[in-house]
Chain A
Protein backbone atom coordinates (compact mmCIF):
# COMPACT_ATOMS: atom_id res chain seq x y z
CA UNK A 1 0.00 0.00 0.00
CA UNK A 2 1.61 3.26 -0.99
CA UNK A 3 1.16 6.20 1.29
CA UNK A 4 3.38 7.74 3.89
CA UNK A 5 5.43 10.81 3.05
CA UNK A 6 4.72 10.57 -0.67
CA UNK A 7 0.96 10.78 -0.42
CA UNK A 8 1.14 13.50 2.22
CA UNK A 9 3.38 15.54 -0.06
CA UNK A 10 0.86 15.22 -2.91
CA UNK A 11 -2.05 16.29 -0.77
CA UNK A 12 -0.23 19.19 0.79
CA UNK A 13 0.20 21.09 -2.42
CA UNK A 14 1.60 19.24 -5.33
CA UNK A 15 5.18 18.42 -4.48
CA UNK A 16 6.37 15.27 -6.20
CA UNK A 17 5.74 12.11 -4.21
CA UNK A 18 8.47 9.66 -3.35
CA UNK A 19 7.38 6.72 -5.47
CA UNK A 20 8.54 4.04 -3.06
CA UNK A 21 10.69 5.25 -0.26
CA UNK A 22 13.17 2.39 -0.25
CA UNK A 23 13.50 2.21 -4.03
CA UNK A 24 14.20 5.94 -4.17
CA UNK A 25 16.88 5.59 -1.53
CA UNK A 26 18.48 2.73 -3.45
CA UNK A 27 18.39 4.67 -6.70
CA UNK A 28 19.97 7.74 -5.09
CA UNK A 29 22.74 5.59 -3.59
CA UNK A 30 23.38 3.84 -6.90
CA UNK A 31 23.72 7.15 -8.76
CA UNK A 32 25.93 8.58 -6.02
CA UNK A 33 28.14 5.48 -6.17
CA UNK A 34 28.48 5.74 -9.94
CA UNK A 35 29.36 9.41 -9.64
CA UNK A 36 31.99 8.91 -6.97
CA UNK A 37 33.57 5.82 -8.49
CA UNK A 38 33.30 6.44 -12.23
CA UNK A 39 32.75 10.22 -12.39
CA UNK A 40 29.61 9.82 -14.51
CA UNK A 41 26.92 12.07 -13.10
CA UNK A 42 23.39 10.79 -13.71
CA UNK A 43 22.02 12.39 -10.56
CA UNK A 44 20.24 15.13 -12.49
CA UNK A 45 18.71 12.91 -15.11
CA UNK A 46 14.90 12.74 -15.32
CA UNK A 47 14.05 10.21 -12.58
CA UNK A 48 11.18 8.35 -14.28
CA UNK A 49 12.99 7.36 -17.47
CA UNK A 50 16.25 6.73 -15.59
CA UNK A 51 14.51 4.46 -13.09
CA UNK A 52 13.05 2.47 -15.94
CA UNK A 53 16.45 2.05 -17.62
CA UNK A 54 18.16 1.09 -14.36
CA UNK A 55 15.58 -1.61 -13.72
CA UNK A 56 15.96 -2.89 -17.27
CA UNK A 57 19.69 -3.33 -16.63
CA UNK A 58 19.07 -4.90 -13.22
CA UNK A 59 16.70 -7.46 -14.75
CA UNK A 60 19.11 -8.15 -17.61
CA UNK A 61 21.77 -8.87 -15.01
CA UNK A 62 19.40 -11.21 -13.15
CA UNK A 63 19.25 -8.91 -10.14
CA UNK A 64 16.22 -8.25 -7.97
CA UNK A 65 17.09 -4.85 -6.48
CA UNK A 66 18.85 -1.61 -7.38
CA UNK A 67 21.13 -2.28 -4.41
CA UNK A 68 22.19 -5.49 -6.15
CA UNK A 69 22.87 -3.50 -9.29
CA UNK A 70 24.93 -1.02 -7.28
CA UNK A 71 27.13 -3.78 -5.93
CA UNK A 72 27.78 -5.23 -9.37
CA UNK A 73 28.28 -1.88 -11.09
CA UNK A 74 30.80 -0.71 -8.51
CA UNK A 75 32.81 -3.92 -8.48
CA UNK A 76 32.57 -4.97 -12.13
CA UNK A 77 33.57 -2.31 -14.68
CA UNK A 78 32.15 -4.45 -17.49
CA UNK A 79 28.74 -4.14 -15.86
CA UNK A 80 29.19 -0.37 -15.74
CA UNK A 81 29.99 -0.50 -19.45
CA UNK A 82 26.76 -2.34 -20.10
CA UNK A 83 24.78 0.15 -18.03
CA UNK A 84 26.44 3.08 -19.78
CA UNK A 85 25.44 1.59 -23.12
CA UNK A 86 21.85 1.27 -21.90
CA UNK A 87 21.87 4.92 -20.89
CA UNK A 88 23.41 6.09 -24.17
CA UNK A 89 21.42 4.33 -26.84
CA UNK A 90 18.43 6.24 -28.08
CA UNK A 91 16.32 4.08 -30.30
CA UNK A 92 15.87 6.31 -33.27
CA UNK A 93 15.66 6.19 -37.05
CA UNK A 94 17.26 7.91 -39.98
CA UNK A 95 15.27 10.96 -41.02
CA UNK A 96 13.07 10.52 -37.96
CA UNK A 97 10.47 13.31 -38.09
CA UNK A 98 10.71 13.84 -41.85
CA UNK A 99 8.98 17.21 -41.53
CA UNK A 100 11.92 18.38 -39.41
CA UNK A 101 14.37 17.59 -42.21
CA UNK A 102 12.10 19.31 -44.74
CA UNK A 103 12.11 22.40 -42.55
CA UNK A 104 15.89 22.11 -42.25
CA UNK A 105 16.15 22.17 -46.04
CA UNK A 106 13.69 25.02 -46.49
CA UNK A 107 14.59 27.34 -43.65
CA UNK A 108 18.06 26.54 -42.37
CA UNK A 109 19.97 25.58 -45.53
CA UNK A 110 19.53 29.08 -47.04
CA UNK A 111 21.14 30.52 -43.91
CA UNK A 112 23.96 28.00 -44.02
CA UNK A 113 24.71 28.88 -47.64
CA UNK A 114 25.81 32.32 -46.54
CA UNK A 115 28.78 30.91 -44.62
CA UNK A 116 32.00 29.95 -46.48
CA UNK A 117 32.75 27.36 -43.81
CA UNK A 118 30.23 25.49 -41.65
CA UNK A 119 30.77 24.10 -38.19
CA UNK A 120 27.96 21.85 -37.01
CA UNK A 121 27.54 20.04 -33.69
CA UNK A 122 25.41 16.92 -33.36
CA UNK A 123 25.27 16.63 -29.57
CA UNK A 124 24.41 13.23 -28.11
CA UNK A 125 24.72 11.55 -31.51
CA UNK A 126 24.30 8.00 -30.12
CA UNK A 127 24.65 5.41 -32.92
CA UNK A 128 24.69 8.07 -35.62
CA UNK A 129 21.37 7.82 -37.45
CA UNK A 130 20.80 11.56 -37.25
CA UNK A 131 24.36 12.47 -38.22
CA UNK A 132 24.26 10.36 -41.37
CA UNK A 133 20.85 11.81 -42.21
CA UNK A 134 22.32 15.29 -41.85
CA UNK A 135 25.34 14.36 -43.96
CA UNK A 136 23.09 13.10 -46.74
CA UNK A 137 20.99 16.24 -46.62
CA UNK A 138 24.04 18.51 -46.76
CA UNK A 139 25.51 16.50 -49.63
CA UNK A 140 22.28 16.85 -51.64
CA UNK A 141 22.17 20.57 -50.92
CA UNK A 142 25.76 21.03 -52.03
CA UNK A 143 26.93 22.10 -48.57
CA UNK A 144 28.84 19.02 -47.48
CA UNK A 145 32.24 20.06 -48.79
CA UNK A 146 32.32 23.23 -46.71
CA UNK A 147 30.96 21.56 -43.56
CA UNK A 148 32.71 20.05 -40.58
CA UNK A 149 30.33 18.05 -38.40
CA UNK A 150 31.30 17.29 -34.81
CA UNK A 151 29.32 14.27 -33.62
CA UNK A 152 29.70 13.76 -29.90
CA UNK A 153 28.43 11.32 -27.33
CA UNK A 154 29.21 10.33 -23.76
CA UNK A 155 29.89 6.73 -24.74
CA UNK A 156 32.93 5.48 -26.73
CA UNK A 157 31.30 2.17 -27.65
CA UNK A 158 28.32 3.91 -29.15
CA UNK A 159 30.64 6.25 -31.05
CA UNK A 160 32.43 3.27 -32.56
CA UNK A 161 29.11 2.07 -33.94
CA UNK A 162 28.44 5.51 -35.34
CA UNK A 163 31.85 5.55 -37.01
CA UNK A 164 31.15 2.17 -38.61
CA UNK A 165 27.97 3.53 -40.18
CA UNK A 166 26.23 0.16 -40.34
CA UNK A 167 22.50 -0.01 -39.64
CA UNK A 168 20.10 -2.97 -39.69
CA UNK A 169 19.02 -3.88 -43.20
CA UNK A 170 15.52 -4.49 -41.89
CA UNK A 171 15.26 -0.81 -41.02
CA UNK A 172 16.00 0.41 -44.53
CA UNK A 173 12.42 0.25 -45.75
CA UNK A 174 11.23 2.60 -42.99
CA UNK A 175 14.29 4.84 -43.41
CA UNK A 176 13.65 5.06 -47.14
CA UNK A 177 10.09 6.23 -46.53
CA UNK A 178 11.30 8.81 -44.03
CA UNK A 179 13.99 9.98 -46.45
CA UNK A 180 11.49 10.46 -49.25
CA UNK A 181 9.07 12.35 -47.04
CA UNK A 182 11.95 14.52 -45.91
CA UNK A 183 12.47 15.71 -49.49
CA UNK A 184 15.20 13.26 -50.43
CA UNK A 185 16.28 13.79 -53.99
CA UNK A 186 17.88 10.48 -54.90
CA UNK A 187 17.31 6.80 -54.42
CA UNK A 188 18.07 6.12 -50.77
CA UNK A 189 19.71 2.78 -51.59
CA UNK A 190 22.48 4.67 -53.41
CA UNK A 191 23.85 5.64 -50.02
CA UNK A 192 24.52 2.17 -48.67
CA UNK A 193 25.63 -1.33 -49.61
CA UNK A 194 24.08 -4.34 -47.94
CA UNK A 195 25.65 -7.49 -46.59
CA UNK A 196 25.36 -9.79 -43.58
CA UNK A 197 22.03 -8.24 -42.56
CA UNK A 198 23.57 -4.81 -42.31
CA UNK A 199 23.43 -1.73 -44.49
CA UNK A 200 26.81 -0.03 -44.57
CA UNK A 201 26.62 3.62 -45.43
CA UNK A 202 29.03 5.24 -47.85
CA UNK A 203 32.22 6.04 -45.92
CA UNK A 204 32.48 9.25 -47.96
CA UNK A 205 29.55 10.50 -45.89
CA UNK A 206 31.78 10.37 -42.84
CA UNK A 207 34.77 12.20 -44.35
CA UNK A 208 33.79 15.53 -42.86
CA UNK A 209 32.47 14.10 -39.60
CA UNK A 210 34.59 14.12 -36.45
CA UNK A 211 33.30 11.62 -33.92
CA UNK A 212 34.44 12.48 -30.40
CA UNK A 213 33.55 11.77 -26.82
CA UNK A 214 31.94 14.64 -24.97
CA UNK A 215 29.83 14.70 -21.82
CA UNK A 216 27.05 17.29 -21.97
CA UNK A 217 26.76 17.27 -18.19
CA UNK A 218 30.37 17.89 -17.27
CA UNK A 219 32.38 19.03 -20.30
CA UNK A 220 32.88 22.58 -21.40
CA UNK A 221 32.15 24.27 -24.68
CA UNK A 222 34.78 23.37 -27.24
CA UNK A 223 34.00 25.49 -30.28
CA UNK A 224 31.59 27.93 -31.86
CA UNK A 225 29.00 26.47 -34.20
CA UNK A 226 26.64 27.68 -36.88
CA UNK A 227 24.22 24.83 -36.23
CA UNK A 228 23.65 22.63 -33.18
CA UNK A 229 21.34 19.62 -33.21
CA UNK A 230 20.36 17.99 -29.94
CA UNK A 231 17.16 16.10 -30.54
CA UNK A 232 15.54 13.80 -28.03
CA UNK A 233 18.64 13.75 -25.84
CA UNK A 234 17.67 16.27 -23.19
CA UNK A 235 14.34 14.57 -22.59
CA UNK A 236 16.37 12.26 -20.35
CA UNK A 237 17.51 15.20 -18.21
CA UNK A 238 15.63 16.83 -15.35
CA UNK A 239 14.81 20.48 -15.82
CA UNK A 240 17.76 22.02 -13.94
CA UNK A 241 20.19 19.99 -16.05
CA UNK A 242 18.34 20.99 -19.21
CA UNK A 243 18.90 24.63 -18.26
CA UNK A 244 22.58 23.95 -17.68
CA UNK A 245 22.97 22.30 -21.08
CA UNK A 246 21.09 25.15 -22.74
CA UNK A 247 23.69 27.50 -21.32
CA UNK A 248 26.39 25.31 -22.85
CA UNK A 249 24.64 25.45 -26.24
CA UNK A 250 24.08 29.19 -26.06
CA UNK A 251 27.75 29.69 -25.31
CA UNK A 252 28.66 27.40 -28.22
CA UNK A 253 26.51 29.07 -30.86
CA UNK A 254 27.79 31.71 -33.26
CA UNK A 255 25.74 34.91 -33.39
CA UNK A 256 22.60 34.03 -35.39
CA UNK A 257 23.48 30.35 -35.05
CA UNK A 258 20.68 27.78 -35.21
CA UNK A 259 19.63 25.32 -32.49
CA UNK A 260 17.41 22.30 -33.27
CA UNK A 261 15.54 20.36 -30.59
CA UNK A 262 13.36 17.24 -30.75
CA UNK A 263 9.75 17.31 -31.86
CA UNK A 264 8.26 17.55 -28.36
CA UNK A 265 11.03 19.60 -26.75
CA UNK A 266 10.89 23.37 -26.41
CA UNK A 267 12.84 26.39 -25.29
CA UNK A 268 9.74 27.72 -23.56
CA UNK A 269 10.25 27.98 -19.79
CA UNK A 270 13.99 27.38 -20.12
CA UNK A 271 16.65 29.78 -18.96
CA UNK A 272 17.62 30.95 -22.46
CA UNK A 273 14.16 31.24 -24.01
CA UNK A 274 14.50 34.98 -24.64
CA UNK A 275 17.86 34.62 -26.39
CA UNK A 276 16.35 32.90 -29.42
CA UNK A 277 13.77 33.59 -32.09
CA UNK A 278 11.63 30.82 -33.56
CA UNK A 279 12.71 29.91 -37.08
CA UNK A 280 10.13 27.12 -37.13
CA UNK A 281 8.00 26.70 -34.06
CA UNK A 282 6.45 23.35 -34.98
CA UNK A 283 9.80 21.77 -35.84
CA UNK A 284 11.61 23.30 -32.82
CA UNK A 285 14.20 25.19 -34.87
CA UNK A 286 15.51 28.31 -33.13
CA UNK A 287 17.91 31.07 -34.12
CA UNK A 288 20.15 32.85 -31.64
CA UNK A 289 19.38 36.55 -31.50
CA UNK A 290 21.44 37.57 -28.50
Chain B
Protein backbone atom coordinates (compact mmCIF):
# COMPACT_ATOMS: atom_id res chain seq x y z
CA UNK B 1 0.00 0.00 0.00
CA UNK B 2 1.56 3.31 -1.03
CA UNK B 3 1.52 6.44 1.08
CA UNK B 4 -1.54 8.02 -0.46
CA UNK B 5 -3.78 4.97 -0.14
CA UNK B 6 -2.53 4.45 3.39
CA UNK B 7 -3.45 8.02 4.18
CA UNK B 8 -6.87 7.67 2.56
CA UNK B 9 -7.70 4.61 4.63
CA UNK B 10 -6.99 6.40 7.91
CA UNK B 11 -9.06 9.05 9.63
CA UNK B 12 -8.12 12.60 8.64
CA UNK B 13 -5.88 14.23 11.23
CA UNK B 14 -7.03 17.75 10.39
CA UNK B 15 -10.23 19.27 9.10
CA UNK B 16 -11.68 22.27 7.34
CA UNK B 17 -15.33 23.02 8.09
CA UNK B 18 -17.29 25.44 5.95
CA UNK B 19 -20.69 26.98 6.69
CA UNK B 20 -22.89 28.90 4.29
CA UNK B 21 -26.47 29.83 3.62
CA UNK B 22 -28.00 32.19 1.07
CA UNK B 23 -25.40 32.77 -1.67
CA UNK B 24 -23.41 29.68 -0.73
CA UNK B 25 -24.05 27.95 -4.06
CA UNK B 26 -22.14 30.77 -5.76
CA UNK B 27 -19.41 31.15 -3.15
CA UNK B 28 -18.47 27.51 -2.60
CA UNK B 29 -17.22 26.70 -6.13
CA UNK B 30 -14.97 29.78 -6.04
CA UNK B 31 -13.40 28.45 -2.85
CA UNK B 32 -13.19 24.78 -3.81
CA UNK B 33 -11.54 25.70 -7.09
CA UNK B 34 -8.32 26.37 -5.16
CA UNK B 35 -8.08 23.02 -3.41
CA UNK B 36 -5.94 20.44 -5.18
CA UNK B 37 -4.77 16.98 -4.24
CA UNK B 38 -2.93 15.98 -2.23
CA UNK B 39 -4.89 17.84 0.42
CA UNK B 40 -4.08 16.84 3.97
CA UNK B 41 -7.36 17.78 5.64
CA UNK B 42 -10.93 16.53 5.34
CA UNK B 43 -13.24 19.28 4.08
CA UNK B 44 -16.79 19.34 5.44
CA UNK B 45 -19.53 21.67 4.23
CA UNK B 46 -22.81 22.60 5.90
CA UNK B 47 -24.94 24.53 3.45
CA UNK B 48 -28.46 25.53 4.47
CA UNK B 49 -30.79 23.71 2.12
CA UNK B 50 -34.44 23.05 1.55
CA UNK B 51 -35.42 19.79 3.31
CA UNK B 52 -36.50 18.15 0.08
CA UNK B 53 -33.56 19.26 -2.06
CA UNK B 54 -31.81 16.46 -3.88
CA UNK B 55 -28.43 15.61 -2.35
CA UNK B 56 -27.02 14.54 -5.65
CA UNK B 57 -27.53 17.86 -7.41
CA UNK B 58 -25.40 19.84 -4.98
CA UNK B 59 -22.75 17.12 -4.83
CA UNK B 60 -22.43 16.94 -8.59
CA UNK B 61 -22.43 20.72 -8.90
CA UNK B 62 -19.64 21.10 -6.37
CA UNK B 63 -17.86 18.10 -7.86
CA UNK B 64 -17.62 20.06 -11.08
CA UNK B 65 -15.57 22.78 -9.36
CA UNK B 66 -13.48 20.56 -7.15
CA UNK B 67 -10.39 18.55 -7.92
CA UNK B 68 -11.00 16.72 -4.66
CA UNK B 69 -13.72 14.04 -4.61
CA UNK B 70 -17.06 15.35 -3.27
CA UNK B 71 -19.49 13.12 -1.36
CA UNK B 72 -22.76 13.45 0.42
CA UNK B 73 -22.50 11.95 3.87
CA UNK B 74 -24.22 8.88 5.26
CA UNK B 75 -24.51 8.06 8.93
CA UNK B 76 -21.26 6.61 10.35
CA UNK B 77 -19.31 7.27 7.16
CA UNK B 78 -15.52 7.50 7.74
CA UNK B 79 -13.65 10.81 7.56
CA UNK B 80 -10.82 10.74 5.02
CA UNK B 81 -8.23 13.42 4.24
CA UNK B 82 -8.44 14.99 0.82
CA UNK B 83 -12.17 14.44 0.46
CA UNK B 84 -14.99 16.98 0.48
CA UNK B 85 -18.10 16.01 2.44
CA UNK B 86 -21.46 17.75 2.11
CA UNK B 87 -24.09 17.65 4.85
CA UNK B 88 -27.32 16.09 3.54
CA UNK B 89 -30.55 18.14 3.64
CA UNK B 90 -32.81 17.93 6.68
CA UNK B 91 -30.19 16.35 8.94
CA UNK B 92 -27.59 17.84 11.28
CA UNK B 93 -24.09 16.61 10.48
CA UNK B 94 -21.77 15.95 13.42
CA UNK B 95 -18.13 14.97 13.63
CA UNK B 96 -18.19 11.96 15.96
CA UNK B 97 -14.67 10.75 16.70
CA UNK B 98 -13.50 9.02 13.54
CA UNK B 99 -16.87 8.97 11.77
CA UNK B 100 -19.71 11.28 10.86
CA UNK B 101 -22.98 10.99 12.77
CA UNK B 102 -26.31 12.39 11.69
CA UNK B 103 -29.08 13.81 13.83
CA UNK B 104 -32.67 14.94 13.32
CA UNK B 105 -32.75 17.16 16.39
CA UNK B 106 -34.66 20.42 16.06
CA UNK B 107 -33.33 23.04 13.64
CA UNK B 108 -30.78 25.49 15.03
CA UNK B 109 -31.32 29.06 13.84
CA UNK B 110 -34.10 27.54 11.72
CA UNK B 111 -31.50 25.47 9.90
CA UNK B 112 -30.96 21.77 9.52
CA UNK B 113 -28.09 21.18 8.69
CA UNK B 114 -26.85 23.79 11.11
CA UNK B 115 -23.39 25.29 10.85
CA UNK B 116 -23.16 25.62 14.64
CA UNK B 117 -23.81 21.91 15.12
CA UNK B 118 -21.09 20.97 12.64
CA UNK B 119 -18.55 23.47 13.93
CA UNK B 120 -19.09 22.64 17.61
CA UNK B 121 -18.79 18.90 17.10
CA UNK B 122 -15.72 19.35 14.88
CA UNK B 123 -14.05 21.67 17.43
CA UNK B 124 -14.53 19.06 20.15
CA UNK B 125 -12.65 16.43 18.12
CA UNK B 126 -10.12 18.44 16.08
CA UNK B 127 -9.36 21.37 18.37
CA UNK B 128 -6.34 23.24 17.04
CA UNK B 129 -6.29 21.02 13.96
CA UNK B 130 -9.48 22.61 12.70
CA UNK B 131 -9.99 25.49 10.29
CA UNK B 132 -13.47 27.00 10.14
CA UNK B 133 -14.80 29.09 7.28
CA UNK B 134 -17.98 31.18 7.36
CA UNK B 135 -19.39 32.34 4.03
CA UNK B 136 -22.43 34.31 2.91
CA UNK B 137 -25.76 33.86 4.63
CA UNK B 138 -28.83 35.59 6.00
CA UNK B 139 -28.85 34.49 9.63
CA UNK B 140 -26.62 34.01 12.68
CA UNK B 141 -25.97 30.29 12.31
CA UNK B 142 -22.25 29.68 12.68
CA UNK B 143 -21.42 32.49 15.11
CA UNK B 144 -21.61 30.31 18.22
CA UNK B 145 -19.74 27.60 16.34
CA UNK B 146 -16.95 30.00 15.43
CA UNK B 147 -16.60 31.04 19.08
CA UNK B 148 -16.24 27.38 19.98
CA UNK B 149 -13.60 26.79 17.29
CA UNK B 150 -11.67 29.78 18.55
CA UNK B 151 -11.88 28.57 22.15
CA UNK B 152 -10.36 25.24 21.10
CA UNK B 153 -7.47 26.83 19.23
CA UNK B 154 -8.73 26.44 15.66
CA UNK B 155 -8.25 28.85 12.75
CA UNK B 156 -11.04 31.01 11.37
CA UNK B 157 -11.62 32.59 7.98
CA UNK B 158 -14.70 34.67 7.21
CA UNK B 159 -15.97 35.90 3.91
CA UNK B 160 -15.76 39.67 3.57
CA UNK B 161 -19.40 40.78 4.08
CA UNK B 162 -18.95 43.31 1.25
CA UNK B 163 -18.43 40.41 -1.17
CA UNK B 164 -21.29 38.30 0.20
CA UNK B 165 -24.72 37.88 -1.35
CA UNK B 166 -26.01 38.22 2.23
CA UNK B 167 -23.71 39.73 4.91
CA UNK B 168 -25.53 38.68 8.08
CA UNK B 169 -23.77 35.34 8.59
CA UNK B 170 -20.23 36.68 8.09
CA UNK B 171 -21.03 39.71 10.23
CA UNK B 172 -22.32 37.57 13.07
CA UNK B 173 -19.17 35.46 12.92
CA UNK B 174 -16.91 38.52 12.85
CA UNK B 175 -18.70 39.92 15.89
CA UNK B 176 -17.53 36.99 18.02
CA UNK B 177 -13.87 37.95 17.97
CA UNK B 178 -10.62 37.91 15.99
CA UNK B 179 -10.12 35.81 12.88
CA UNK B 180 -7.19 34.62 10.81
CA UNK B 181 -8.41 36.38 7.70
CA UNK B 182 -11.29 38.08 5.93
CA UNK B 183 -11.62 38.01 2.16
CA UNK B 184 -13.62 36.83 -0.80
CA UNK B 185 -14.23 33.08 -1.28
CA UNK B 186 -11.46 32.79 -3.84
CA UNK B 187 -8.91 34.35 -1.49
CA UNK B 188 -10.07 32.07 1.34
CA UNK B 189 -9.65 29.08 -0.97
CA UNK B 190 -6.07 30.08 -1.70
CA UNK B 191 -5.34 30.37 2.04
CA UNK B 192 -6.89 26.94 2.62
CA UNK B 193 -4.77 25.40 -0.10
CA UNK B 194 -1.72 26.39 1.93
CA UNK B 195 -3.29 24.80 5.03
CA UNK B 196 -3.85 21.64 3.04
CA UNK B 197 -0.31 21.47 1.70
CA UNK B 198 1.44 21.88 5.01
CA UNK B 199 3.32 18.73 5.88
CA UNK B 200 2.38 18.84 9.53
CA UNK B 201 -1.31 19.43 10.20
CA UNK B 202 -1.73 22.52 12.33
CA UNK B 203 1.77 23.83 11.57
CA UNK B 204 2.17 27.56 11.09
CA UNK B 205 1.06 28.59 7.62
CA UNK B 206 3.27 31.27 5.96
Contact = CB atoms under 8 A, between A and B. Distances in A.
B127 A48 contact: no
Contact of A7 (B99, B105, B129): B129
A242 to B, nearest CB: 7
Contacts of A1: 127-128, 152-153
| Ranked 8 nearest A-B pairs via Cβ | A16-B97, A2-B127, A14-B11, A19-B124, A48-B96, A48-B94, A14-B10, A46-B101
B95 interface: yes
B13 interface: yes
Contact of B104 (A2, A13, A51, A235): A235
B161 interface: no
Interface of B: 10-13, 52, 72-76, 88, 90-92, 94-99, 101-107, 117, 120-121, 124-129, 152-153, 201
A266 B74 contact: yes
Interface of A: 1-3, 6-7, 10-11, 13-17, 19-20, 46-49, 51-53, 90-92, 96, 98, 181, 232, 234-236, 239, 242, 262-266, 269
A46 B91 contact: no
Contact of A264 (B91, B99, B117): B91
Contacts of B129: 7, 10
B88 to A, nearest CB: 5
B121 to A, nearest CB: 5
Nearest to A174: B51
Given A46-B101, A52-B117, A264-B91, 19 more contacts: A1-B127, A1-B128, A3-B127, A10-B13, A13-B10, A14-B13, A15-B11, A16-B11, A16-B97, A49-B101, A49-B103, A52-B103, A53-B105, A91-B105, A92-B104, A235-B102, A264-B74, A264-B75, A264-B88
Contacts of B120: 52
Nearest to B79: A14
Contacts of B75: 234-235, 262, 264-266
Nearest to A49: B103
Contacts of A13: 10
A264 B11 CA distance: 20
Contacts of B95: 48
